[in-house]
């Protein structure tokens, strides 16, 4: 089981997605950073690592508008019913059958041109091992494209404050960890930022939805009144409004030398 099981919190994640501009902002960032790399290729082998139910993958592929005969898609997602849903949703973007993987280590012989992972690397068990698997399955000229929150992000600040209430460090990785591991494994990284807004009608139930998404099974052990109160500074006339940003990391292997 991954560190954070998204099956029990899928409705809470859907609520976050429906009330944040994060996905739109990430799509614009990927379009910008991948435009040159994707231009005029005769084939693109792409892995979407941690695709969820395809709610993000499908609009992303729609926006990238790649010729379907050129695109070979692989999806990796531990929640199996979401993996199946995602495979159905993205099938129309490729003329080739979509490969589904529950674990990236089962990608045996692939050589991907692009491994994209949108807000997933927080939750892997061992970041060095996961990036090592990506390195193993990446073409020498291939790219890694990640979106991941950094230590300044408001959700990360809520994680830190929440886990501090039970004297625990945040059990998830963030952008700074990913940048360190990429450098250790010989990648050159370009970093940009994607700003987004979270906006939802203020109610205890809506605050709870975001908290369940943020903390998963850890929520049971954390005192709720303090956690619910963390939204107070973002209350504006009955609406919670949070402006924040995440990092986009575009990485490629440095030439050996």
**Residue ranges in contact with ligand SAM by CB under 6 A:** 2, 4, 6, 49-52, 55-56, 76-79, 118-120, 123-124
Instruction: Choose between 160 and 254: whose C-beta lies nearer to ligand SAM.
Output: 160
Q: Are strands 44-49 and 112-118 parallel, antiparallel or unpaired?
A: parallel
Instruction: Choose between 123 and 163: whose C-beta lies nearer to ligand SAM.
Output: 123
Provide the greatest CA pair distance for the chain. 59
Neighbours of 186 (CB within 10 A): 13
| Residues 222 and 184 sit within 8 Å (Cβ to Cβ) | no
Instruction: Choose between 100 and 139: whose C-beta lies nearer to ligand SAM.
Output: 100
Tell me the CA distances in angstroms from 66 to 3, 71, 95, 142, 202, one per residue in order: 33, 7, 11, 17, 40
**Quick one: tokens of 167?**
């004297």
- Torsion-angle region of residue 10: left (phi > 0), alpha (psi -120 to 50) or beta? alpha
**Quick one: tokens of 128?**
């060095």
Nearest CA to 70 out of 34, 41, 90, 98 is that of 41
Rounded to a whole number of angstroms, the minimum distance from the CB of residue 175 to ligand SAM is: 14
Rounded to a whole number of angstroms, the minimum distance from the CB of residue 33 to ligand SAM is: 16
Rounded to a whole number of angstroms, the minimum distance from the CB of residue 76 to ligand SAM is: 5
Rounded to a whole number of angstroms, the minimum distance from the CB of residue 139 to ligand SAM is: 20
Instruction: Choose between 79 and 227: whose C-beta lies nearer to ligand SAM.
Output: 79
Q: How far is 21 from 97, CA to CA, in rounded Å?
A: 31
| Residues 53 and 75 sit within 8 Å (Cβ to Cβ) | no
**Quick one: tokens of 257?**
């030398």
Rounded to a whole number of angstroms, the minimum distance from the CB of residue 56 to ligand SAM is: 3
Contacts with 204 (C-beta within 8 Å, 6 or more apart), sequence order:
228
Rounded to a whole number of angstroms, the minimum distance from the CB of residue 257 to ligand SAM is: 32
Instruction: Choose between 6 and 163: whose C-beta lies nearer to ligand SAM.
Output: 6
Instruction: Choose between 94 and 246: whose C-beta lies nearer to ligand SAM.
Output: 246
Q: How far is 242 from 234, CA to CA, in rounded Å?
A: 6
Instruction: Choose between 129 and 229: whose C-beta lies nearer to ligand SAM.
Output: 129
Rounded to a whole number of angstroms, the minimum distance from the CB of residue 42 to ligand SAM is: 27
| Residues 77 and 83 sit within 8 Å (Cβ to Cβ) | yes
């Amino acid at each position: 089981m991954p560190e954070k099981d998204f099956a029990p919190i899928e409705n809470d994640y859907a609520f976050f997605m429906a009330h944040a501009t994060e996905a739109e902002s990430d799509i614009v960032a990927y379009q910008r950073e991948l435009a040159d790399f994707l231009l005029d290729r005769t084939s693109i082998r792409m892995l979407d690592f941690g695709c969820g139910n395809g709610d993000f993958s499908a609009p992303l592929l729609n926006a990238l508008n790649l010729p379907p005969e050129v695109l070979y898609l692989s999806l990796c997602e531990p929640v199996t019913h979401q993996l199946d849903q995602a495979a159905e949703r993205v099938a129309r973007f490729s003329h080739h059958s979509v490969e589904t993987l529950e674990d990236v280590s089962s990608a045996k012989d692939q050589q991907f041109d692009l491994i994209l992972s949108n807000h997933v690397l927080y939750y892997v068990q061992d970041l060095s091992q996961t990036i090592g698997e990506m390195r193993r399955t990446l073409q020498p000229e291939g790219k890694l494209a990640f979106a991941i929150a950094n230590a300044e992000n408001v959700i990360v600040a809520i994680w830190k404050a929440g886990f501090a209430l039970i004297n625990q460090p945040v059990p998830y990785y963030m952008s700074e960890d990913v940048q360190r591991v990429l450098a250790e494994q010989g990648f050159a990284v370009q970093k940009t930022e994607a700003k987004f807004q979270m906006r939802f009608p203020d109610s205890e139930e809506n605050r709870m939805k975001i908290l369940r998404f943020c903390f998963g099974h850890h929520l049971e052990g954390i005192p709720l009144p303090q956690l619910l109160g963390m939204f107070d500074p973002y209350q504006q006339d009955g609406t919670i409004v949070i402006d924040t940003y995440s990092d986009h990391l575009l990485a490629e292997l440095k030439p050996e030398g």
